[in-house]
Amino acid sequence: MKIAFFDYPVTLAEPPKTGGIRLVSYALALRLARAGHKVLFYGSKGHYQEFEYYEDGIIYRRIPDSWFDKLLEPLNSIDSWNLSHPQRPFYASKLFFCEFYRQVAQDIQAQQCDVIHMNIVFQFVPLMRAYNPQAKIVLHIHSDFLPLFDPVMVEQCLKSVDLVIGCSDYLTNQVRKYLPHVKSQTIYNGADINHFTISNNHEKKDTKQILFVGRISPEKGVHILIDAFNKVVSRYPQVQLKLVGSENALVPWYTLDREDPQIQNLRPYYQGNYRSQLQNQLTSTAAKSVFFLGKVPHFELFEYYQQADIFIFPSVWNEAFGMPIVEAMSMGLPVIATRGGAFPELVEDEKTGLLVERGDADALAAAILRLLGDDNLRIAMGKAGQKRAVEKFAWDYQAKKLISNYKKLYL
């Protein structure tokens, strides 16, 4: 089977160095290539001279920048200035880097691919279909954005899609409710359980470590975690909080579900510098034990998971998945997360970790203190989480499910 993958035009056609959607495509593509399928991965040409690059069984096809896309690029600002219709934003229009996607569609046609696996950009399903009438088109979604758009626009775009994949039942069930006539299926995001695995070198420490991995951005609830940590450190001084993630990747306000009251509470954090606000929230005692470590290459996260005792993901918005959660589980860490989005599918409350309400710093602090004060519970939850990660979220397992779904499209 010949399969083409692509997502945003800013994605370089090369193996990823960080997490996110790009890592999902790469992890699946890598395993499909190992299984003997021919896999093409489309992305930006960037500074590279070669139009094609081959590594680990994946053919990377590089699309050069277009003068037409550059001409239209300033239109992206109409979304940030709230000048576009909220249900028909520019980033969901067919003008959004349209020449990039036309070139991708044309090249896929020349390559005669059997399956077009496209991420996020639902508006280009008709374009892909026009150039590739015989191919099976799979749209892979990674957030609950479809219900935010004009339903007429979405339905028109997805008329010719063969399958919509959600990265959690939370997303897939939304699609089934919103677009009941569209075939949909859940393929979970995963973890590389051979890399993120428990090490025997984990030494017992006097100081416990709490770890967060993700964007340092308001919707991730880092300010809630800081408030909770202020309470924790006053009662349990032998603790550190490590925050790993980019500080320059705030999700734009206009892409959030502003009808959600929890999202409305985030508005003040979009005024000014978020990192500075977090620093100002810290008490003098807590400030000595909080470390902002910045962006870390994905496969170097291993050492941070290994050093940690508890993993926390305090998202305020409804997360579509949460890949760091399953990586932390794979490393044998108990997880404290919020009760929203896909998190209840990942974390079994009271078994592999604890779930608290979104935006509740007191409940988060109480959960942290409970695990800090009970070594046996913390270890037991970590072991149960590691078993769950291996059985349910391994990338190899998800790739097999994906191939099975591709094959069903041809029955």
> What was the pLDDT predicted at 391?
95
| Within-domain flag for 298 | yes
Q: What's the gap between Cα 286 and its chain centre?
A: 29
Looking at the structure, do residues 123 and 98 belong to the same domain, yes or no?
Answer: yes
| Within-domain flag for 195 | no
Looking at the structure, do residues 95 and 227 belong to the same domain, yes or no?
Answer: no
94: domain CATH number is: 3.40.50.2000
> What was the pLDDT predicted at 411?
77
> What was the pLDDT predicted at 202?
57
| Within-domain flag for 198 | no
Q: Which two tokens mark 43?
A: 């992305």
Answering whether pTM is above 0.85, one says: yes
Q: What is the mean pLDDT of each run of 10 residues along the chain (411 residues)?
A: 93 82 92 97 90 95 94 88 86 94 98 97 97 98 90 95 98 94 96 86 78 95 98 96 89 78 90 93 96 92 95 96 96 97 98 97 98 96 97 96 96 77
Question: In this structure, what are the phi and psi dihedrals at residue 133, rounded to the nearest 5 degrees?
Answer: -65, -25
Q: How many domains does the chain have?
A: 2
> What was the pLDDT predicted at 201?
57
Q: Which two tokens mark 35?
A: 């299984």
> What was the pLDDT predicted at 229?
98
Q: Could you tell me the residue range of the domain that residue 256 belongs to?
A: 208-392
| Within-domain flag for 142 | yes
CA distances from 53 to 23, 58, 324 (A): 18, 8, 29
Looking at the structure, do residues 241 and 318 belong to the same domain, yes or no?
Answer: yes
Beta strands in 303-392, from DSSP E residues, in sequence order = 310-313, 335-338, 353-356
Report the amino acid identity of residue 15. Answer: P
Looking at the structure, do residues 172 and 258 belong to the same domain, yes or no?
Answer: no
3-state secondary structure of 85: strand
Looking at the structure, do residues 264 and 301 belong to the same domain, yes or no?
Answer: yes
Nearest to 341 by CA among 253, 240, 220: 220
| Within-domain flag for 196 | no
Looking at the structure, do residues 281 and 399 belong to the same domain, yes or no?
Answer: no
> What was the pLDDT predicted at 148?
86
| Within-domain flag for 270 | yes
> What was the pLDDT predicted at 200?
62
